[in-house]
A and B are shown apart, each in its own frame.
Chain A
Amino acid sequence: MKKLLLAAPLLWALQGVALANDELRPAFKAMLDASFKTTGIAAKYRIYQLDFQAACSQPKPPPASVQKAIEAAQMQTIRYPADGHYFGDWREGEKIAISGRGLTWTDKTPTDNGGGCYNCHQMSHHEIAYGTIGPSLLNYGNVRGRSEDIIKYTWGKIWNAKAFNACSNMPRNGDAEILTEEQIRHLMAYLFDPASPVNKP
């Protein structure tokens, strides 16, 4: 539950945001409470929001000051690999990027999830079934380079996309425990390895 306790500046900032439909809030909450049930691993408490989720639940993103506060708090959650090893096997990474399984009420276990990256991103030169909610990551390593800064940024982005864009559509793969450190290493290899189909036509 550590994630419920965000940095104090964020809480102050949030109090300044006039949420739309304030008077409907109680009715809305009662509606959600009465409308959902736990099925399998998809427990009912998932309808209760973290602070930043609430701040990002309007048609427009919150004011810049609130976004900054969210990003600063989310930045604190990023865990870089303790042994300094950022890269695994790109072949494993590809499987994780393609698989969109995991965490629904029809999934049996909370582990061994996919990253679902292809739901939103173009990645390799060969896979044409890609979504467009996120930007194309084709040639990622070649285009972005392989400096330490870029490697650390990319790890952080995969770990917690909200640290860089408060209301990003991209999940917090590491922070929300969707993927393991090992899986993120494989994805890093998929993005950066010169032999990966992301970088090699």
Chain B
Amino acid sequence: MKHSVLAGLLAWAVCSGVQADSATDEIARYREMIADGNPSELFALQGEALWKQKRGPKNASLEQCDLGLGPGVVKGASARLPRYFKDTGKVEDLETRLMTCMQTLQGIDPKLVIDAPWGKGEKETMQALVAYIVTESNGEKIAIDMRPPQMKKMYELGKMAFYYRGGPMDFSCATCHGDKDKRIRLQDLPDLRTQAGAAAGWGTWPAYRVSNGQFWTMQHRLSDCFRQQRFPEPIYGSDVTIALSVYMAATGNGGTVLTPGIKR
């Protein structure tokens, strides 16, 4: 029952959105309508179960995974990611950190995640885990620890990547996200150079996408932007995606995390 009502609302939001003057108004109305039920809840529930479930060659759960605040601490963890981890010697975002935990605790080969298509196999597992973890940071402040030199370097590399033009259309991230109050067709584009824009753009992902009924992680969002940029495909969890994430998250520092978001 809950499902069919939801489907109806989604269909309504999508259809009426086409005629709307502003996509933003439409999303605001949609948000109101589902005020006490975000479609991502279903994914988050699955994710919580997966977090506790014994899986992989080592038949272990992820409950001892250290997302940066100590083993097993989920609350507030994703608001502080990406961060530098001493144990791996790397800057990791939520998804790469989860791959690390899946490998060390459960013995699951990261390649199974990296090579799976979006929404399939271990990527589906990843989506659910991400939905669970980011729900536990909803309402927190973006708090990226920029003290480690590794973070400063990633930030600089991310900024360079943000302005890096290439491909057959000469686009960079800045072509679409480097000015205020711009849109592509009817879609508003956050100005990711500014604190407010980065907080809004970074802080509302991962998100449930109304238009296709899918839950998208930040890695998925970035991959699709690179696709629109006409770049080659970024490898899942690769450093360019981490660097851009550090650049956006650090720029948005202090803003509010509203995750999982709800997007067109």
Contacts and interface: CB of A to CB of B under 8 A. Distances in A.
B157 interface: yes
B160 interface: yes
A5 interface: no
Interface in B49-99: none
Interface stretch (A81-89, A129-137, A139-147, A182-190): A129-137
Interface stretch (B40-48, B138-146, B231-239): B231-239
In which size bucket is the chain A interface?
35 or more
A80 interface: no
B166 A131 contact: no
A168 B34 CA distance: 41
Contacts of A50: 166
A105 B233 contact: yes
Interface string B151-180: 001001100110111111111101110010
A39 B185 contact: no
Contact of A35 (B181, B227, B228, B235): B235
Interface in A100-148: 100, 103-106, 118-120, 128-133
B230 A46 contact: yes
> Which of B169, B181, B184 has its CB near the most chain A CB atoms (within 10 A)?
B169
Contact of A120 (B21, B172, B184, B233): B184
Given A31-B157, A176-B169, A133 B179 contact: yes
Contacts of B170: 53, 56, 162, 171-172, 176
A57 B163 contact: yes
A31 B243 contact: yes
B58 to A, nearest CB: 28
Contacts of B238: 34-36
A34 to B, nearest CB: 6
A146 to B, nearest CB: 28
A57 B160 CA distance: 8
B111 interface: no
Contact of B166 (A28, A53, A103, A162): A53
Contact of B239 (A21, A31, A58, A105): A31
Contacts of A120: 184
Nearest to B163: A57
B168 A46 contact: yes
Contacts of A130: 185
10 contacts: A28-B161, A42-B230, A42-B233, A48-B166, A49-B164, A103-B169, A129-B185, A130-B185, A171-B170, A176-B169
When A and B form their complex, which 4 residue pairs have the shortest distance between CB atoms, in order from nearest?
A35-B238, A35-B240, A39-B233, A171-B169
